[in-house]
Structure 1
């Protein structure tokens, strides 16, 4: 019988991808509601409710993504014990350290991806991770600057939400790629006799 630790967690993968997509969609509604409050002086309770839903959905997406990343790190370490894979604490903790969280998480995801399989395609797969990270960081910066310099700006709202949706789609693709690499590598690592006993 094979160990469940030797398989990529498909339910977790799909849950993280769905939660990330839902967070991007609720962010669009949140941004529109907040803009309406600035521009049209609408009821703050509506934008407050939408913002509250966004916070809950985003928190769920963050938790599921970090659980997936911790599992992917564990699988990568098992697949490539000699590889430079960050510790579990660093894998999760560096997301919460200001300034560090602008740079280090990208490298951690790249380290996990590279250690996941010899099939990691340096140019294609690194470009995918870099595109996701660029969309995410640019979205975050536009969000901060738009709120301070031009609250209610439709142009900045559109740019911000396009970047958020792009980051969500690319995050889903990064999760899918690393999970697919680990599925293949973990499947190849299972001894034949354990498959016949299952």
Structure 2
């Protein structure tokens, strides 16, 4: 168990939510400019597209960092609140996101494990469904991007699908962040250990 006392994750949650929302909006503009460059490959369009892509990269990198910092905090809190719960190790909590193939399913399970260990108020299957919807939207975005980039470049229909999934994933992960952060803050305020919650 961590020697550091658990701290409320709400401030980190707000920072991560804001950065994720901004990155999702930037991604929509980036995708529009990329399609515009594909349909009208002028120097001006190439410059605008490159600039928008660079801004998006900065935005998504900030969102990733803040999300992972938040995730590390709530993982540490969950372990302190439920010492017997099955939560991932600190290194694997972050490393799983960058491991090919593993990052398609393991991080989702980690978020579920952290949520269950955060509070006895975690609700199965309601909260599990929320996490699953977020993960499905995120995977849908990635698949649509791959298809658009490699098989049907410039497709407006796939662009709409990809960006709809991106916005949905951003909104849903914002709710997931809020749910776990609120549960932990309430539990920390009550100073009551969490009883283990069995997965459904």
Q: Which TM-score applies when normalising by structure 1?
A: 0.92
Q: Show the 5 A alignment for 1:31-180.
A: 31-42=31-42, 43-180=45-182
Mapped to 2, the partners of 1:143 and 1:81 lie a distance apart of 40
Mapped to 2, the partners of 1:96 and 1:179 lie a distance apart of 24
Mapped to 2, the partners of 1:10 and 1:72 lie a distance apart of 10
1:171-194 deviation digits (Å, cap 9, x = unpaired): 00000000011011111117xxxx
> Which sections of structure 1, spanning at least 5 residues, go unmatched?
191-198
Mapped to 1, the partners of 2:103 and 2:145 lie a distance apart of 16
Runs of 4+ in 1 over 2 A off after TM superposition: 4-7
SS at match of 1:182: helix
Question: Displacement, 1:145?
Answer: 1.2
Residue 195 of structure 1 corresponds to which residue in structure 2? none
1:7–1:187 Cα contact (<8 Å) kept: no
Pairwise CA RMSD? 1.2
1:46-81 deviation digits (Å, cap 9, x = unpaired): 100000000000000000000000000000000000
Question: Displacement, 1:138?
Answer: 1.0
Residue 21 of structure 1 corresponds to which residue in structure 2? 21
> Which sections of structure 2, spanning at least 5 residues, go unmatched?
193-200
Question: Displacement, 1:24?
Answer: 0.3
Mapped to 1, the partners of 2:163 and 2:171 lie a distance apart of 12
Which deviates more, 67-76 or 137-146? 137-146
Q: Which has the higher helix share?
A: 1
Mapped to 1, the partners of 2:118 and 2:10 lie a distance apart of 16
1:146–1:156 Cα contact (<8 Å) kept: yes
1:76-119 deviation digits (Å, cap 9, x = unpaired): 00000000000000100000001110010000000000000111
Count of residues in Structure 1 that have an aligned counterpart in Structure 2: 187
Mapped to 2, the partners of 1:174 and 1:9 lie a distance apart of 13
1:19–1:57 Cα contact (<8 Å) kept: yes
